[in-house]
Structure 1
Amino acid sequence: MSLLNHLNELRRRLIAVFVVFILSAAVMLFFTKRLYLWLIRDLHVDGQLAVLSPADIVTVYFMIAGVAAIAVTIPFAAWQLWLFVAPALTRKERRIALSYIPALFLLFLGGIAFGYFIVFPNIFHFLMSMNDGMFQLVFTAERYFRFMMQVVLPFGLIFELPVIVVFLTNLGILNPVRMRKMRKISYFVLIILGVALSPPDFVSDTVMSVPLLLLYEICVTLSAITWRRKLKRRAQSEGELSAAAEQTHEHNL
C-alpha cells in the first residue's frame, strides 16, 4: 500500500473508534444517574450536590458517561490498532499482539479502581481535614467530579504503560538497559507529569507522582523479563537454524 492508502486506512480506523465512543457515551447516559448516586455515596449529601448553572448538569452527565465510554472503547480501539498493523506482522506476532487487548482493558479498569479506591479517598480526606471547622463546605457537582476525574482518570491511562513497554520491548524499540540509563530523565518527566495531571496541591502532587515512579520500576522489570525471553527465543531459533544447516551439509557430503 502507498502512504496515502495507509493514511486513509488509519483514518477509517480512527473514525470507527470515534463512532463507538460516541455510541457508548450515548448508552452510558442512561446509567449516569445510578453512577452519580454511587460516586457520591460517601459525601452524605442525600444525593444532591450544588450546581451554579443548568449547564453544569449537562457537564456532569457527560463527564461520567465519557469516562465509562472510554472504558468500553479501549478494547475496540486496541482491536482496530491490531487490524491496522496486522498485515505487517507474522502469524506468531499477530497472535502475541492480539493477546495484549484484554490486558489493556483490564489494566485500564485496574488503574481506575486504584485511583478511585486508594488515591482519591486519601487526597480527599486529607484536604477535608485541613478545613478543621474554618470553612462552610459546599460541593458543586461540576467541580467535585472534575476534581475526581483529575485524580482517577490519569491512573487508568498510566496503568497501560506495562503493556506498551512489553510490546515495544518485543519489537526491539525498548530494552531494560536503555530504560535504566534513562531513569533520571524519566523520573523528572514523570514527576512533571504527576504535577500537571493532579489537582494543584502538594499532597495530590505527591500521591500522583510516587505511583508513577513505582510503575516505571515495574516497567523496567517487565522489560528485563521480556528481553531475556526474547534473547532466549532468538538463541533457540539460531540453534535450530545452525543444526539444520549442519544436517544439510552432512547430507550433501
Structure 2
Amino acid sequence: MVLPGNTAFFRDPINFYEPFVSIFLRYIREQILPPNVRLIGLELTAPIELYVLASLVFAVAITLPVFAYEVYRFVDPALRPEERREVYPFVFFVTLLFLIGVVFGLKILSPYFIIALLPFFTAVGAEPVISIMDFYNILFTTTLATGLIFTFPAFFVLLVKYGIVGTDIFRRNRRYLYLGLLILAMLISPGSSPQGNFLLFTPMVLLFELGLWIARRYEKKGKVRRVRLPWEIPKCKFCGSVIPSDAPFCPKCGRAQK
C-alpha cells in the first residue's frame, strides 16, 4: 500500500510520490464526501492510523479470494465428487453477493448516511467539519457490514440443503425476523434516521425472502440431505473415539458403552 501508485513518480520521485493507499482514500473522498464538508485530523497520529486502517481493509479485500482458495484446497480431499461440485456455486454466489453488498454500501448507503446527518450541523449552528477517522470509520464499517449481510441467502440455502435448519420455523415467525432485521439495520446505520434504516432494511428483507424461496424449492424437490453435526456423531464415553451408532463396545479401547 505504500508503493507508488502513479507513473509520474518515476520521473520525479520526490514531488510526485503518491502511494496506493492515498489513491484509494482520495477516490472514496471524491465519490462520497459532500463539497461543503471539510475533513480534519484532530490528533497528530490520525493520518498514520488512517493509513494503517485503510491498508488493512484493502489487504482483506485483495487477499480474500486467496484465503477462500486455500480453505477450499484444505477441505478438498475430504469432499465427495458431488459435494465438490457444490462448492463452486456456493463460493461464487458468496463472493458475488459480498461484492454487491460492498458496492451498495459504498455507493448508496454511505453517501446517504453522511448527507442525512449534515442538517444536524445547521440545527445546532455548527460548521460541517468532520474528523477524518470518524468519516472513514463510518464508511468502512457500513460498507463491510453491508457486504457480509448480503451473503446471508447463500449460507441460509446451504444450511437448509444439508438439513441443519428448516424453512418452516422461519416462515411461521416472519414478524419476529423482520423485527430483528430492523434492529440490525438500526445498529449498522449511523444516525439511525428512519429513511436510512428503511434503505438498509428493504434489501435485507428482499434477500431474506430470496434465500427462503430458494431453500423452500430444495425442500419441495427432496434435495435436502441430513448431515450429522459434530456433536451428533457417536463417540466412546471413555476414549472419545468415533464409533458406530449401534456398537455395544468401542473398537479402540474395547469398553462397553451401555
Normalising by structure 2, we get a TM-score of 0.68
Contact 1:74/1:104, CA 8 A, preserved across alignment? no
> Aligned ranges for residues 1-253 of structure 1 at < 5 Å?
30-42=19-31, 43=33, 49-132=39-122, 134-203=125-194, 204-229=196-221, 231=222
Q: What displacement does 1:199 show?
A: 1.7
Q: What displacement does 1:145 show?
A: 0.6
* Counterpart Cα distance in 1 of 2:154 and 2:22: 33
Aligned to 2:102, the other structure's residue is in SS state: helix
Identify if the C-alpha distance between structure 1 residues 75 and 26 changes in structure 2 by more than 3 Å, giving closer, same or farther. Answer: farther
Q: What displacement does 1:114 show?
A: 0.6
Contact 1:150/1:199, CA 8 A, preserved across alignment? no
| Deviating more after overlay: 200-209 vs 104-113 | 200-209
Q: What displacement does 1:46 show?
A: 11
User: Equivalent residue for 1:15?
Assistant: none
Q: Deviations over 1:91-133 (max 9, x none)?
A: 1111211332232222211111011112222222222244447
Letter in 2 for 1:199: P
* Counterpart Cα distance in 2 of 1:232 and 1:164: 16
Contact 1:52/1:140, CA 8 A, preserved across alignment? yes
Q: Deviations over 1:38-68 (max 9, x none)?
A: 1111536699731012321122222322222
* Counterpart Cα distance in 2 of 1:115 and 1:207: 10
Identity %: 26
Aligned to 1:189, the other structure's residue is in SS state: helix
| Deviating more after overlay: 165-174 vs 151-160 | 165-174
Identify if the C-alpha distance between structure 1 residues 233 and 220 changes in structure 2 by more than 3 Å, giving closer, same or farther. Answer: closer
Normalising by structure 1, we get a TM-score of 0.70
Structure ranking higher in helix proportion: 1
User: Equivalent residue for 2:231?
Assistant: none
Identify if the C-alpha distance between structure 1 residues 177 and 189 changes in structure 2 by more than 3 Å, giving closer, same or farther. Answer: same
Letter in 2 for 1:214: L
Contact 1:41/1:47, CA 8 A, preserved across alignment? no
Identify if the C-alpha distance between structure 1 residues 233 and 60 changes in structure 2 by more than 3 Å, giving closer, same or farther. Answer: closer
Identify if the C-alpha distance between structure 1 residues 140 and 215 changes in structure 2 by more than 3 Å, giving closer, same or farther. Answer: same
Q: What displacement does 1:212 show?
A: 2.1
* Counterpart Cα distance in 1 of 2:67 and 2:160: 21
**5+ residue gaps in structure 2?**
6-17, 226-258
Contact 1:195/1:205, CA 8 A, preserved across alignment? yes
Letter in 1 for 2:149: I
Identify if the C-alpha distance between structure 1 residues 206 and 232 changes in structure 2 by more than 3 Å, giving closer, same or farther. Answer: closer
Aligned length: 209
Q: What displacement does 1:30 show?
A: 4.3
Identify if the C-alpha distance between structure 1 residues 188 and 85 changes in structure 2 by more than 3 Å, giving closer, same or farther. Answer: farther
